[in-house]
Amino acid sequence: MPITELLERNAREYANDICLVEINPEVKEVRRVTWKEYELMEPNPTTHYRREITWHVMNEKANRFANLLLSRGIKKGDKVGILLMNCLEWLPIYFGILKTGALAVPLNFRYAPDEIEYCVKLADVDILVFGPEFIGRVEEIADRISKNRLLFYVGDNCPTFAEDYNSMTANCSSLSPDIPLTDEDDAAIYFSSGTTGFPKAILHNHESLMHSAKVEQNHHGQTKNDVFLCIPPLYHTGAKMHWFGSLISGSKAVLLKGTKPEYILDAVSKEHCTIVWLLVPWAQDILEALDSGRIKLEDYDLDQWRLMHIGAQPVPPSLIKKWKEYFPNHQYDTNYGLSESIGPGCVHLGVENIDKVGAIGKAGYGWEVKIVDPDGNTVTRGEVGELCVKGPGVMTCYYHDKKATAEVLKDGWLFTGDMAQEDKDGFIFLVDRKKDVIISGGENLYPVQIEDFIRTHAGVHDVAVIGLPDKRLGEIACAIIEPKENIILTEDEINELCQQLPRYKRPRKIIFADIPRNPTGKIEKPKLREMYAGGSVVDAQNHG
């Protein structure tokens, strides 16, 4: 069943029930700036505001956007990009795209202009929908991407190079376009990447999306009475697929802008949230604020909060032990997943297995797992091998990349690139990542991109970027730099250069040393990690 039918059902059965709430404790000033200027801007405190919509209104908004797209020639199989911060418009736009039979193409809000351009072109995007935070970035590339594409703007004060989403959809029909869809129809393209630079385009069909909704509800038992607090960005498969638990149960979700501990606890308290998905830094910030006395639990109404789960990066068992001291009645869970497996849940710890914190769990609902050696043979329990998963949520392919697809999809199995081992009880533990992606605060950093940028400095002979352990972020990017002969470089000089990078890509640590390479010329990153990170990043690992 295509996932759009869940929205139609909720609009019929729960028409006047609230489905989405948007809370904005603070925002950045919205004006036309470059993406670099926007990243450096400080949030401006504003009057706390809250918006909400019902299931009926959400479905109507999705229908209006679908009919707008159809009026502009969008047809089954076309692609529509979404470049928005979390907001009430995000999900109606996503479902409006799906209702036409077109593919939704969410874009990372951290992308620089060249990354936006690359992804738009790679995915064959026909229309790009963007919000006020991206005016500067889109304007920088508008001349290059708008020749064969339409640009729709969501927000006030529409820029001259785009068309106004609000005024256009207001004049469109709110009735469903009734485009026939099947489980096998393509539904969405998400982006991910290893260490090779720009992201790959990951193609999923409607069966994948629907399966992720079933997985989420099976794992976390969402009912109509649950309220999900969603803080991570909706472009990410993790946030979207966890929200699918609200969709399948017809329950309310809250989109919170802001990650300060007081914002999170205030939203849980006032909106009566029962399920909260956190990243490690946010959970640690809450614990530190409680330890310091800056916030007090008695100031909030938290009795209804039943489940806290963490994903997108390694989870230290010590964090969960400390969390249970403050929240002894909370269920805890973690999931492992990749964008190629439609996000979290292909491997699942389970709330009943808190004694196994540190493991990523066992095969999730409807999934199979195996651990194989380099020849593809299943290893014996306890041996380390590559983790593989199989199920209805595996991607169709890497769009426009047959070679990369063949490398990871074999007989229906997705080879994850993560090294793992199974304990005597059948629980899977990640040992190391086969790829060199650095996961910092839930964001993937791609070392090659950072390395290539640092190499532009005239005094740099060689550079390698690796992840070092960090209590709050899981990992931080460390740049190991080998200067040219007789050249003296300083940390300040490199840090000044890296100001040109988006903030999240800047190395947090600089080390000047020789770069070891093997006989084929490849950087020996395992050796570097052994030297500077003790060979292990964290004491427990998971992705979703």
Model confidence at 434: pLDDT above 70: no
Q: Is residue 362 part of a domain?
A: yes
Look at residue 505 and tell me whether its pLDDT is greater than 70.
yes
Mean pLDDT in residue range 242-270: 96
**Co-location of 200 and 66 in the same domain:** yes
Instruction: Write the single-letter amino acid at 525.
Output: K
Q: Minimal CA–CA distance to 443: which of 399, 398, 464, 474?
A: 474
In a domain, 376, yes or no: yes
* Residue 317 confidence (pLDDT): 79
Mean of pLDDT over the chain: 89
Average of per-residue pLDDT across 181-195 = 85
pLDDT at residue 457 greater than cutoff 80: yes
State yes or no: pLDDT of 540 exceeds 50.
no
Cα–Cα distance for residue pair 231/164, rounded to 1 Å: 27
pLDDT tops 90 at residue 510: yes
Residues 10 and 156 in one domain: yes
210 pLDDT above the threshold of 80: yes
Regarding whether 502 and 442 lie in a shared domain, the answer is yes
**Mean pLDDT, rounded, for 315-344:** 90
Rounded to two decimals, the pTM is 0.82
Q: Pick the closest to residue 117 from 158, 75, 91, 145 (CA basis).
A: 145
pLDDT, average across residues 384-400 = 96
> Quick check: 507 and 308 in contact, CB under 8 A?
no
Total domains present in the chain: 3
pLDDT at res. 504: 87
Distance (Å, rounded) from C-alpha 393 to C-alpha 211? 6
What is the pLDDT averaged over residues 476-498? Answer: 92
522 lies in a domain? Answer: yes
Instruction: Say if 273 falls within a structural domain.
Output: no
pLDDT digits (tens, 9 = 90+) for 67-103: 999 999 999 999 999 999 999 999 999 999 999 999 9
220 has a pLDDT exceeding 80:
yes
Split at pLDDT 50, 70, 90, the class of 199 is confident
Q: Which of 231, 258, 285 is the last residue of a domain?
A: 258
User: Tokens 């003296």 correspond to what residue?
Assistant: 488
Secondary element (H or E) of residue 264: helix 261-271
Q: Which of 437, 512, 420 is nearest to 475 (CA)?
A: 437
507 lies in the same domain as 401: no
Please give the pLDDT value at position 533. 78
d(CA 304, CA 229): 13
Pair 150, 187 in one domain: yes
CATH classification at residue 446: 3.30.300.30
Q: Which of residues 194 and 364 earns the better pLDDT score?
A: 364
Residue 113 placed within a domain: yes
Q: Which of 258, 291, 322 is the last residue of a domain?
A: 258
Do 148 and 51 sit in the same domain of this protein? yes
| Range 330-339 average pLDDT | 92
Higher-confidence residue of 486 and 222: namely 222
Q: Which of 184-198, 248-262, 278-292 has the highest mean pLDDT?
A: 248-262
12 lies in the same domain as 72: yes
Looking at the structure, do residues 100 and 183 belong to the same domain, yes or no?
yes
Instruction: Tell me whether residue 287 is in a domain.
Output: no
Task: Please tell me the distance from the alpha carbon of residue 282 to that of residue 260, in angstroms, as a whole number.
Answer: 7
d(CA 430, CA 420): 4
Do 67 and 144 fall into the same domain?
yes
**Residue 541 above 70 pLDDT?**
no
Task: Specify which of 36-40, 97-101, 317-321, 416-420 reaches the highest per-range mean pLDDT.
Answer: 97-101
Q: Is residue 145 situated within a structural domain?
A: yes
Q: Which CATH number belongs to the domain containing residue 385 in this structure?
A: 2.30.38.10
| Nearby residues of 503 by Cβ (< 8 Å), 6 or more positions away | 39, 40
Place 131 in a pLDDT band, splitting at 50, 70 and 90.
very high
User: Which of 55-69, 279-293, 296-310, 387-401 bottoms out in mean pLDDT, i.e. has the lowest?
Assistant: 279-293
- Choice between 135 and 431, residue whose per-residue pLDDT is larger: 135
149 or 448, greater pLDDT: 149
The count of other CB atoms within 10 Å of the CB of residue 80 is 27
Is residue 419's pLDDT more than 60? Answer: yes
Pair (55, 156) in one structural domain = yes
Q: Which domain holds residue 51?
A: 4-258
Quick check: is 315 in a domain? Answer: no
Judge whether residue 430 has pLDDT over 90: no
275 DSSP β-pair partners: 228, 307
Please give the C-alpha separations between residue 314 and each of 63, 326, 460, in angstroms, as whole numbers. 39, 21, 32
Supply the CATH number for residue 25's domain: 3.40.50.12780
Residue carrying structure tokens 């992720």: 212
pLDDT above 70 coverage of the chain, percent: 91
List the structure tokens of 158: 């529409």
- Pair 453, 444: CB distance under 8 Å: no
Q: What integer pLDDT is reported at residue 519 of this predicted model?
A: 44
Does the pLDDT value for residue 428 go beyond 90?
Answer: yes
| Mean pLDDT score, 195-211 | 86
- Looking at the fold, whether 139 and 228 belong to one and the same domain comes out as yes
Domain boundary at 217, 243, 258, which? 258
Task: Give me the residue label for tokens 């090659």.
Answer: 448
Mean pLDDT on 380-400: 95
Judge if 48 and 124 occupy the same domain. yes
